[in-house]
Structure 1
Amino acid sequence: MFSFISWFIPSVPTWLTLETSPLDCALQGLVGACGISILCNLLRVYLFVEAQSYADGKDGPSNKRSHSGGLIHRIQFWILTLIIGLVGSRVASLVVLEFCLRAISTRLTAAQDPLTDSVLQLLVQCQFSLGCAFNCSLQFLHEGAPQAWLSLLLAAGLSWFLASQCSRLRRHVMSMYPIHSTQRYCGVCIGLLTSGPSILTFLCSALIITFSVASIAAVSSINRHFLSTSEALRFWTPLTICYTLLIIYMQEEQRRQPSGQALLNTVVVRLGGLLVLMLTVGRWADVLHILLCFTGEAACLLPAQDLLESAYKGAADVPRHVTRNEPQRRQKKLEKHD
């Protein structure tokens, strides 16, 4: 009887099924979304502290901006959790490798620029790639584990705790830092006053480690889909040529139009090129996951317009000698308040 009824129910296509269990996908998506939240909150803290310090150095009012989009950030968090959990390891690996290639090319071509000119822009752009890095890394590290969900649950709990602490730090700094840093009311704000620039260095170091592990996982995840070396070459050759040309184009475009709109345009070009490539040598599941990546990139970049504006305009507003002499000036400020 049941077999007769199931004959009328269409089966789910294999390219719509998940690579792992729904629980594992949900936990991986949660870890990726928490990583993006930590990155954005620490970037906002860094930019606010730098803007406040520069305004104090000029003895003028700081450019304070309200960050009241709490509901928007919560919606963004759960959308990213869903999208990162649904994106397959193959497409997530391609996104990670593309960002690593773009980051290396950006640092090589902008070697003479200060850290805050190019690296800060790169940190804003890597949000969704960071989520994909956690996705493919966790899937690679837990492949074949009998109780992988327990380890993923521990990772999700730790990520949730760190994300909540960074969110509390951002809210505290936005509201109380101008008072606490001058009146010396709390150790957190005094610590940010003396070592605020180290946040950017810490983020860079953490992302280098994260994407290094993710690159190894990405190459392994992609190569296991090929049965022979010829199939691997047939995939890697057009991928390498396509993304080399795309990166050259995107860098030239951002030099001509250094703005957030140019960044959004390069996202469309980058994922559009990957979509065409997957229509040629990929699978239907890859095409569906790339369409999800469009939504994920939009969910990361559209609510981060303040970060985009600071990344493209902050370096032009703050003179280079201010950043270079920032630690000495902060120490003098503390001595003046003693």
Structure 2
Amino acid sequence: MSFLLTSFLPGWLTLERNPLNSLLQGLVCACGISVLTSLMRVYLLLEESWSDKTDKDTTAQRSHHHRHKAGLGAKLQFVLVTATLAVVGSRVASLVVLEFCLRTVSAWVTARPESSKCLQQLLVQSQFSLGCALSCSLYFLHEGAPQRWLCLLLAAMLSWSLASQATRLLHHVTVLYKLHSSQRYCGICIGLLTSGRLLLPLLCRVLIVTFSVAVFSAISIINQQFLSATEALRFWTPLTICYTLLVVYMQEEQHSQPSSQVILNTVVVRLGGLLVLMLTVGHWADVLHILMCFLGEASCLIPNWDLVGAASSQDEEDYTDYAEREHHQRTQTQQKKQR
């Protein structure tokens, strides 16, 4: 089958891996994204239960929006993400990972103190980038393995099991957490009640480790494409300039637009910048794969747009609390000086 595709299609339209390996790799990446979104929804449901329920209607409405959208739509989304990540090559996946990591470091450095907005928004934006990180890491770690398909099959089985467990946990928390946490007879809900606040920091640590491995893999994968240092310099120089300009532009946009609009603009600007860059120094396959990345980002963000809204509302709450504390501290300082 792979020989027939290579014979009848142009080289830049064929997959860089065996179709079976590509499918298994895409399945692992899609399961990783599913685990992330399920645990994020679990954390938001726990956060709602901790907050003061002064408006029961609003709380009930928010809880309804954060529920897992099971059914045909969720299955189609999973299949679409799997197919997209199976087609996207390791080179473009590496570029997406490097851009996301650079933007994450910049956002973390410039974030307001004591703000959880940065964490939640980065987790929401990292869905497709996480899939690309897993893709290039698996490609790098399994490169040259004699039975690569068997390794990917074991990884796919493990990731499918983890994704299923995360989905069951989300369903359990959505339906039974309020009852079980009040009655204190469910071990899962009691554990979430006592240590659920550690879920968000735990997700962040796992993503830090995942993207650290992915950055090393991405740099190695990209450098393998060059035969000399001159070719590498010719590629890395415009790439570094492009990434720097993108980061500066997106940091300025964050101060002038709502958070949800910033996330949407970020996807368009950064993938558009990569598209222009690949038209200049890349291959036709890279251009095609970046266009596929637009589809992958949309399939991750649009079905989970309520998570974006939750991060935006959390940003407003954090900013209000931060402004009140700063105003209170300035008032106390002025009173002390007057005395």
TM-score normalised by length of structure 1: 0.88
Q: Is the contact between residue 30 and residue 131 of structure 2 (CA under 8 Å) also seen in structure 1?
A: yes
1:15 paired residue number: 12
Task: From the superposition, tell whether residues 74 and 248 of structure 1 become closer, same or farther in structure 2 (CA, over 3 Å).
Answer: same
1:86 paired residue number: 87
Q: Equivalent residues in 2 for 1:213-224 (5 A)?
A: 213-224=213-224
- How many Å apart are 1:68 and its aligned residue? 5.8
Gaps of 5+ in 1: 1-5, 322-338
Task: From the superposition, tell whether residues 184 and 315 of structure 1 become closer, same or farther in structure 2 (CA, over 3 Å).
Answer: farther
Amino acid at match of 2:151: S
2: CA distance, partners of 1:144 / 1:107: 37
2: CA distance, partners of 1:55 / 1:79: 39
**Displacement over 6 Å in runs of 4+:** none
2: CA distance, partners of 1:68 / 1:161: 17
Task: From the superposition, tell whether residues 143 and 257 of structure 1 become closer, same or farther in structure 2 (CA, over 3 Å).
Answer: same
Task: From the superposition, tell whether residues 268 and 188 of structure 1 become closer, same or farther in structure 2 (CA, over 3 Å).
Answer: same
- How many Å apart are 1:281 and its aligned residue? 0.2
2:288 paired residue number: 288
Task: From the superposition, tell whether residues 255 and 218 of structure 1 become closer, same or farther in structure 2 (CA, over 3 Å).
Answer: same
Q: Is the contact between residue 246 and residue 270 of structure 2 (CA under 8 Å) also seen in structure 1?
A: yes
Amino acid at match of 1:33: A
Is 1:311 matched up with 2:308?
no
Amino acid at match of 1:78: V
Is 1:65 matched up with 2:64?
yes
1: CA distance, partners of 2:251 / 2:304: 21
Amino acid at match of 2:83: L
Is 1:103 matched up with 2:100?
no
Q: Is the contact between residue 115 and residue 315 of structure 2 (CA under 8 Å) also seen in structure 1?
A: no
- How many Å apart are 1:258 and its aligned residue? 2.6
**What is the count of residue pairs matched by the alignment?**
312
Task: From the superposition, tell whether residues 137 and 68 of structure 1 become closer, same or farther in structure 2 (CA, over 3 Å).
Answer: closer
Task: From the superposition, tell whether residues 207 and 68 of structure 1 become closer, same or farther in structure 2 (CA, over 3 Å).
Answer: closer
2: CA distance, partners of 1:114 / 1:149: 45
Q: Secondary structure at the match of 2:8?
A: coil
- How many Å apart are 1:288 and its aligned residue? 0.3
2:43 paired residue number: 46
Q: Secondary structure at the match of 2:51?
A: helix
Segment of structure 1 superposing worse, 112-121 or 304-313: 112-121
- How many Å apart are 1:74 and its aligned residue? 1.5
Task: From the superposition, tell whether residues 94 and 198 of structure 1 become closer, same or farther in structure 2 (CA, over 3 Å).
Answer: same
Q: Secondary structure at the match of 2:124?
A: helix
Gaps of 5+ in 2: 323-339
Q: Secondary structure at the match of 2:258?
A: coil
The RMSD of aligned alpha carbons is 1.8
Q: Is the contact between residue 41 and residue 68 of structure 2 (CA under 8 Å) also seen in structure 1?
A: no
